Amino acid sequence: MKMNFARLTGQLAMLHRDREALVNIERKRRFTYAELHRFTNRVVNMMRERLSLRRGDVYLCILENDNLSLLHAWTALKGEAAVAWTNYRDAIDEHRWQVEFIRPKVVFLENALLDRYFDMLHERGIHVVCMDPPGTPREGLSCFTDLIEGVADTDPGIESDTTSDILVYRFTGGTTGKSKCAQYTMDNWLSNRDSFYAVDEHWLDTGTRYMHMAPISHGSGMGMLPTLFRGGCTVTQNVPDLADWCRNVQTEKITIGMMVPTLLYRLLDMAEATAYDLSSLTTLFYGAAPMSPVKLRQLQQRFGNIFVQVYGSTECIQRVSALTKADHFTASDERLGSAGRVIAGTELLVVDEAGKELPPGQTGEIWLRGRGIIPGYFNNPEGTAAEFENGFWKSGDLGYLDEDGFLFIVDRKKDMIITGGFNVYAIEVEAALNSHPDVAISAVVGVPHEQWGEAVHAEVVLKPGGHVSQEELIEYVKRSIGRFKAPKAITFVAELPVSVVGKVQRRQVREKYWKGHARRVA
């Protein structure tokens, strides 16, 4: 089926003409629905007319949230060239790899990166577009504001096939290995929009002000189209600073936010969380990593029953499951550790190693099928063949469904520890460690052991002023989840490696213990 996405946003512009649609905090830009529609039309027309970006071409964005919002889904789905979004805070080596892999015709770049990035891009024949006037002109460099000057804001008139034309590329997080490049159609993005509306709770409406501090190149950006189609406002913050976030919640009367659990834990201990008025918040989404039920209870006591857990992935951008506010209000501590119930529109199987469906209560790999599943990885037929089967994506997550349909994510397959023939799930051990009042966060990995193959080991960051010994903490875990699951040793560290979106990088913790050893489990 063909669709002209600009007509959809044009209809929204007529419906919500003067409502605020987009606010860029650091850039001090504000767009109404009518203004955002006309502006994004101009961007697409500029890319076609002045950069010659056409069907089959790729342009890549290395941009902070404020600028990336101008080239996000509401622009990308209007055009014919495909956009690749990458995280602005990735290292230059990661960006270099992404550029070489995706081979973009044009790169949109923050001016702050020009001196370090321009030569690398120019020598590959890439046209570089910086977002502000450059201090020094360079051959092969254009300025976004110059390019868009005088371009018509009329409908670009582009029709795309909703299920076959690739319009967006995103790189996977790479927390368990080298990142892959996921490719998306328009229908993938519309399924993400629809999945926000497929629950009994209504999180989004015309009064919504949804702020994004996490990179909108990644999971946070999944909230942008659902907010747009409900008549709400998207607010972007560039700097990943929780104190700024608190101040901006108060100033912009933010109603919705999204954070990974590690940031929510920090929010509990921040003076700014009480110094600023955060009472406008009605919903805080969390996901991407497991939440400690003990800390979740503390967050509820502090901020109210405003929390919603959502489960999804790069390869499945529709919401797979949700632990709603109503669920949080009534759930036992055990169910607070779940990912909620499967959302209508997602087909979910829990299977054994042979791909046979397992009954409730039995742990296996989670397979997903639905409109949000990507058609495969770009330029990676081996990865596509290994991870996709009969329309299902094999998530690599281990979990189970209980008798009432609550989904429990037990661990990643690669994070399961096999010690003395027993399976130990890092997530479960971390939850026990994190429930201790002196623990801020932890990472649990398997380390080499001559007798057992692997031994459970933990790296732990204590809260400021926290005092607990290794022996006391190990005994605490033994009482919580059993002797054989408890760490054999604990290393106290000042910090843990985290990704640019705040996920603890277990892979980096694990690798230093396995140098010179053959890994015995996948």
What pLDDT, in 10s, does the model give residues 286-328?
A: 986 667 788 888 999 999 999 999 998 889 999 999 999 999 9
Identify the three-state secondary structure at position 414: helix
pLDDT at 521: 39
CA-based max dimension of the chain = 72
CATH 3.20.20.70 assigned to domain 420-513? The reply is no
Measured CA distances, 104 to 31, 94, 99, 155, 463 (Å) = 29, 15, 7, 25, 44
Q: What is the mean pLDDT of the chain?
A: 91
Per 3-state DSSP, what percentage of the chain is helix, strand, and coil (rounded to 5)? 35, 25, 40
pLDDT at 289: 65
For the stretch 466-518, pLDDT in tens is 999 999 999 999 888 877 789 999 999 999 988 766 778 887 888 888 776 64
Pairing relation of β-strands 141-143 and 160-161?
Answer: unpaired
pTM of the model: 0.83
pLDDT at 522: 33
Tell me the angle at which helices 5-15 and 33-49 cross, rounded to the nearest 10 degrees. 160
Identify the segments of the chain with pLDDT beneath 50: 174-177, 518-522
For the stretch 57-116, pLDDT in tens is 999 999 999 999 999 999 999 999 999 999 898 888 889 999 999 999 999 999 999 999
Distance between CA atoms of residues 201 and 273, nearest Å: 26
203 CB neighbour count, 10 Å cutoff: 24
pLDDT at 175: 41
Structure tokens at 185: 């159609």
Beta pairing partners, 371: none
Task: Identify whether the C-beta of residue 85 lies closer than 8 Å to the C-beta of residue 222.
Answer: no
